[in-house]
């Protein structure tokens, strides 16, 4: 079926801190079965004939590329210069469509829908309405009175499994949510849409012309870059920054007269809180849910996420315990929705763990700052097969490299040589150098930095295949 899947990869996922952070949001985190929600979304949309299009932040371009390469193998990525919510993101995608009559399926990158076949069947039921000029949304049949989701009230049955949308309802309080559930004709708003590109653009022109105009100007002469099987599209920055931020629901859907809904009967979660994540993990007889090296003793209804080290909950009840190498969250389940307030507090307090992980993704691989002190820092570094760090030098630090897995090709000044497992080399202050992985397996090494200043901005790049500025 010729539908272009468009995956909206924005969002910071602050309610899943400390696992999800601004530099590595929840859609990229290996959360379920060692796969990220973005990878699972790409797999779920594999039945679409067209390659996927992702709309993402410039800061996350290589995280998106890695997910596409591991699943769909090819696709395109529209890179937003800044976050401007779903109306602008969807407008960029529609303007990028090769055919104005192309049907486009807009899906958030961070939802979990385990029954991919049922989802595909539901989308296909909405295609006739989309081809006739409607904006089709998909509503989830509610299983409990949730206060975390918006609702859609169903109207006239249009046949073929689609219904007119009577109205959209904001996230309700507990009493109203119970009433909506008993009402029997409301659905959770899943934030998934199917429409033709020209239909969406016409609706934006009618209801949010300023948003569309800013996006049209940004896409009038975008920059294009092809890396392997993935094409990157960069809208013009100044024009896009002038666009206001608004969701597609507020900008268009609540005002538009041709919006239909198709109910989805399968399991769905927006994975929007640690309670939602916990619900995806099987419970033991006491209601405890454990991931990794967690141990629950004389505990009830306790969730433990402990992938790195043993974490023991003794005599606890109704707790969420999430452990990472550099931050720990312990929260009562009733306060799961307030984790975003924790992130705001840490940000105001200038705690770096509010937005960044100890382990940092880079286009060539990753590094993990495992220890630091006065005039020294120790990192684990992983370099993907065939990848290279930039040709660079440092003004204030020297580096010792010890290879622990694979083989490194090292450029040091005029020398180029190989360093194998259990071997090491030294990079003096001010010396030009580059690290390359010539092998077919990941290269892993330990880097010991020493010097008067160890900041990431002490990097002077002379060559870089990833187009980055002087900062690694």
pLDDT tens track for 198-229: 999 999 999 999 999 999 999 999 999 988 88
Residue 162 falls inside a structural domain: yes
Tens digits of per-residue pLDDT, 72-83?
Answer: 789 999 999 999
Res. 32 pLDDT band, cuts 50 70 90: confident
Residue where one domain finishes, among candidates 264, 287, 302: 264
pLDDT higher than 60, residue 382: yes
Tell me which DSSP letter residue 373 carries. E
Give the model confidence (pLDDT) of 268-291 as tens digits.
999 989 999 999 999 999 999 999
Alpha-carbon distances, residue 259 vs 12, 130, 140, 441 (angstroms): 28, 9, 16, 50
Asked if 98 and 39 sit in the same domain, the reply is yes
- The CA distances from residue 204 to 125, 136, 246, 431, in Å, are 24, 15, 12, 54
Statement to judge: residues 231 and 300 lie in one domain: no
302 and 443 housed in the same domain: no
The neighbour count for residue 308, using CB atoms within 10 Å, is 11
Residue 471 has pLDDT above 80, yes or no: no
Is 173 found in the same domain as 33? Answer: yes
Domain of residue 310 covers 274-352
Please tell me which residue, 363 or 5, carries the higher pLDDT value.
5
pLDDT over 70 (residue 294): yes
Residue carrying structure tokens 């300023």: 210
For residue range 38-57, list pLDDT tens digits in order. Answer: 999 999 999 998 999 999 99
Rounded alpha-carbon distances, angstroms, from residue 299 to 330, 332, 361? 14, 13, 36
Q: Do residues 287 and 399 share a domain?
A: no
Query: Both 346 and 363 in a single domain?
Result: no
Number of CB atoms found within 10 A of residue 417's CB? 10
Q: How confident is the model at residue 195 (pLDDT cuts 50, 70, 90)?
A: very high
Express each pLDDT in 423-449 by its tens digit: 999 999 999 999 999 999 999 999 999
Q: How confident is the model at residue 292 (pLDDT cuts 50, 70, 90)?
A: very high
Give alpha helix (H) positions in 208-300.
209-218, 237-241, 248, 274-279
Closest to 27 measured CA to CA, from 43, 44, 17, 13: 13
Residues 398 and 312 in one domain: no
pLDDT at 182 over 60: yes
Report helix angle 37-44 to 116-131, nearest 10: 60
Task: Give the tokens for residue 68.
Answer: 């596409």
Q: Which of 352, 374, 404 is the last residue of a domain?
A: 352
167: tokens are 């109205």
- Tokens linked to 431: 């010396």
Residue 99 has pLDDT above 50, yes or no: yes
Q: Is the domain of 125 the same as that of 240?
A: yes
The answer to whether residue 468 sits within a structural domain is: no
In this predicted structure, the answer to whether residue 418 has a pLDDT above a threshold of 70 is yes
In this prediction, residues 235-240 reach a mean pLDDT of: 96
| DSSP-derived secondary structure for 28-47 | GSEEETTEEHHHHHHHHTTT
55 and 163 belong to one structural domain: yes
**What are the C-alpha distances in Å from 240 to residues 11, 86, 437?**
17, 13, 38
User: Could you tell me if residue 459 is inside a domain?
Assistant: yes
Does one domain contain both 220 and 84?
A: yes
CATH of residue 438's domain is 2.60.120.10
Rg (CA), the chain: 24
Reported confidence tier of residue 121, pLDDT bands at 50, 70, 90: very high
Give yes or no for residue 360 having a pLDDT over 90. no
* pLDDT for residue 468 is more than 70: no
CA atoms of 141 and 128, how far apart (whole Å): 21
Domain endpoint, select from 230, 264, 298 = 264
Unique residue bearing structure tokens 């880079």: 362
Percent above pLDDT 90 for the chain: 80
- Distance (Å, whole) CA 80 – CA 97: 16
DSSP bridge pairs for 77: 54, 232
Pick from 53-62, 261-270, 311-320 the range whose average pLDDT is largest. Answer: 311-320
Number of domains into which the chain is organized: 3
Lowest mean pLDDT among 9-23, 303-317, 331-345: 9-23
Does residue 469 sit within a domain?
no
Stretch 236-255: mean pLDDT: 95
Average pLDDT of the chain is 93
> Which residue, 421, 373, 432, 358, is CA-closest to 399?
432
- As given in the structure block, the two tokens for residue 266 are 């399968």
Residue 472 has what pLDDT? 45
Euclidean distance between CA atoms 33 and 17, whole angstroms? 19
Strand partners, 436: 388, 409
pLDDT at 240: 96
Dist CA 468 CA 472 (whole Å): 8
Whole-angstrom CA distances from 16 to 20, 68, 103 are 5, 23, 33
Could you identify the residue written with the tokens 């960029």? 92
At residue 340 the predicted structure's pLDDT band, cuts being 50, 70 and 90, is very high
Do the domain assignments include residue 299?
yes
Q: Are residues 457 and 440 in the same domain?
A: yes
Residue 471 placed within a domain? no
Note whether 56 and 153 are same-domain residues: yes
Pairing of strands 433-436, 397-405: unpaired
């Amino acid at each position: 079926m010729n539908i272009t899947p468009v995956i909206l990869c924005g969002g910071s996922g602050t309610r899943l801190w400390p696992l999800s952070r601004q530099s590595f949001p929840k859609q990229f985190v290996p959360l379920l079965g060692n796969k990220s929600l973005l990878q699972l979304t790409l797999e779920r949309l594999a039945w679409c004939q067209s390659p996927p299009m992702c709309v993402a932040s410039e800061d996350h371009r290589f995280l998106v590329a890695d997910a596409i390469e591991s699943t769909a193998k090819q696709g395109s990525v529209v890179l937003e210069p800044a976050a401007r919510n779903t109306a602008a993101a969807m407008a960029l995608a529609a303007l990028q469509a090769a055919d104005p009559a192309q049907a486009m399926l807009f899906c958030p990158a961070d939802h979990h829908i385990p029954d991919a076949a049922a989802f595909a069947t539901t989308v296909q039921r909405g295609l006739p309405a989309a081809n006739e000029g409607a904006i089709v949304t998909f509503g989830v049949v509610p299983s409990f009175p949730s206060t975390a989701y918006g609702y859609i009230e169903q109207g006239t049955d249009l046949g073929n499994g689609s219904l007119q949308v009577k109205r959209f309802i904001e996230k309700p309080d507990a009493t109203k949510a119970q009433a909506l559930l008993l009402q029997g004709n409301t659905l959770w708003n899943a934030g998934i849409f199917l429409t033709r590109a020209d239909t969406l653009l016409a609706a934006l022109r009618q209801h949010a012309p300023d948003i569309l105009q800013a996006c049209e100007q940004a896409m009038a002469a975008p920059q294009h870059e092809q890396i392997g099987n993935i094409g990157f599209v960069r809208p013009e920055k100044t024009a896009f920054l002038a666009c206001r931020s608004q969701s597609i629901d507020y900008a268009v859907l609540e005002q538009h007269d041709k919006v239909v809904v198709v109910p989805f009967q399968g399991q769905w979660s927006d994975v929007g809180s640690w309670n939602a994540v916990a619900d995806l993990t099987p419970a033991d007889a006491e209601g405890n849910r454990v991931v990794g090296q967690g141990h629950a003793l004389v505990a009830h209804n306790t969730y433990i996420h402990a992938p790195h080290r043993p974490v023991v909950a003794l005599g606890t009840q109704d707790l969420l315990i999430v452990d990472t190498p550099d931050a720990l969250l312990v929260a009562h389940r009733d306060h799961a929705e307030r984790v975003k307030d924790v992130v705001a507090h840490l940000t105001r307090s200038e705690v770096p763990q509010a937005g960044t992980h100890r382990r940092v993704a880079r286009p060539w691989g990753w590094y993990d700052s495992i220890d630091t002190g006065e005039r020294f820092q120790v990192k684990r570094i992983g370099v993907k097969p065939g990848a290279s760090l930039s040709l660079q030098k440092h003004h204030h630090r020297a580096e010792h490299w010890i290879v622990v897995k694979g083989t490194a090709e090292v450029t040091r000044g005029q020398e180029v040589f190989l360093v194998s497992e259990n071997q090491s080399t030294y990079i003096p202050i001010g010396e030009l150098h580059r690290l390359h992985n010539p092998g077919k397996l990941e290269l892993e090494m330990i880097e010991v930095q020493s010097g008067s200043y160890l900041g990431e901005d002490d990097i002077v790049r002379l060559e870089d295949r990833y187009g980055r500025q002087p900062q690694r």
